[in-house]
Amino acid sequence: MEQVVLTPLGQNCLQALLKVWLDFDLAVSKVAIVKRLEQGRLSLEDYQKLLLNLRQQVIEGSRWISRSASSFDRDYSDIRSTVIHHAEEEHRDYQLLEADYVAAGGEQSVIESTQKNIGSEALHGFLMYRASQPNPVDLIGAMWIIEGLGNKMATKWSRYINEQFSFENNATSFMDYHGENDENHLQELYNLIDRVATSQKNIDGIIRTAKVVAKLYQLQLEEVDNHE
C-alpha cells in the first residue's frame, strides 16, 4: 500500500480516529455473539443470525454513500467522484452475504425477508440523515469505522468461523472479500482525510460521526441475539 504523508491537521484527525477505532474494537470484543465467535463457541445458528443481521446494513450502505455523494457541491467534486466509485464497488456486496447464508444452511427466502434489527435501524437512520446534509465531510468518520471493521476484523472472523465449521461450499466469501479489499478503501480514506481535515471544525465533525457510528454498530451487533 502506498504510504500517504498527511498534513499536520490530517495527522491530528488520523490520530483521533485511531483512538476511536481502538475504543470501538474493545467494545465490540465484549459483545456476546463476537465473544462466542472469537472463543470458538459459535453455533451454526449463531453464524446464520449474524449474516441475517448484517445483510440489511450492507444493503443500505451503498444507499447512504450514494446519498452523500449527491450532497457534495462542485467545490468537493473530487470527493464526490471518490465516493461514487466506492458506492459502485460495494452496491452488490449483499449478494456475497446471501450466498454465504445459503451455504451455511439458511434459506434464501428467509434472508431476503428479514427486517433490520433495532441497531441497524438506528445506524441507517443516522447515516441517511448525515448523508443528506450539505457537503457531509463528517461521514469520513463513518467510513473509517465500517471499512476498518472489514479490514481489521473480517479476515480474522472468517478464520475463526472456518475453524469451527466445515462447509460444503465457501460460506465466508463476504468476509474474505472485505478482508482482502478494504485495505485499498482505507488508502482512499487516508487521502480523503487529508483533503477535508482543513479546519478543527471539520475534524471535530469527523470524530463525532465516527463515535456515533461506532456506538450504533456495536448496538447492531448486540441486537443479533435479540432479533427475531
Between CA 211 and CA 141 the distance in angstroms is: 8
pLDDT of residue 147: 84
Evaluate if residue 137 carries a pLDDT over 90: yes
151 close to 176: Cβ distance less than 8 angstroms? no
Compute the average pLDDT of residues 101-120: 94
- Provide the grid cell at 102: 445459503
pLDDT of residue 148: 82
Predicted confidence at residue 110, as pLDDT, reads 95
Give residue-wise pLDDT tens across range 3-34.
Answer: 567 889 999 999 999 999 999 999 999 999 99
- Inform me whether the pLDDT recorded for 39 exceeds 80: yes
% of the chain beyond a pLDDT of 70: 93
* 186: nearest Cα among 144, 142, 138: 144
- How much is the pLDDT for 61? 83
Q: Per the domain annotation, does 1 fall within a domain?
A: no
pLDDT at residue 112, rounded to an integer = 92
Whether residue 2 lies inside any domain: the answer is no
How many distinct structural domains can be found in the chain? 1
Phi, psi of 37 (to 5 degrees): -65, -50
CATH code, domain with 121: 1.20.910.10
Helices (H), the chain: 8-29, 32-38, 44-70, 77-90, 93-103, 108-113, 118-131, 139-164, 173-196, 200-222
Inter-CA distances, 228 with 31, 36, 49, 54, 56, Å: 18, 19, 9, 14, 14
The predicted model scores a pTM of: 0.92
3 inside domain = no
Nearest partner of 165 among 54, 45, 33, judged by Cα:
45
Residue 201: its pLDDT value, please?
A: 95
Average pLDDT over residues 139-167: 89
pLDDT per residue as tens digits for the range 161-171:
999 999 989 99
Mean pLDDT value across residues 160-184:
85
Is residue 123 domain-resident? Answer: yes
197 pLDDT band, cuts 50/70/90, is very high
Whether the predicted pLDDT of 70 surpasses 70: yes
| Helix ranges (DSSP H) in 91-138 | 93-103, 108-113, 118-131
CA dist list (Å): 42 to 32, 50, 162: 10, 10, 11
**CA atoms 72, 78, 81, 82: torsion sign:** negative
Residues 84-109 pLDDT 10s: 877 776 667 889 999 999 999 999 99
Quote the domain boundaries for residue 80: 8-225
Whether the predicted pLDDT of 1 surpasses 50:
no
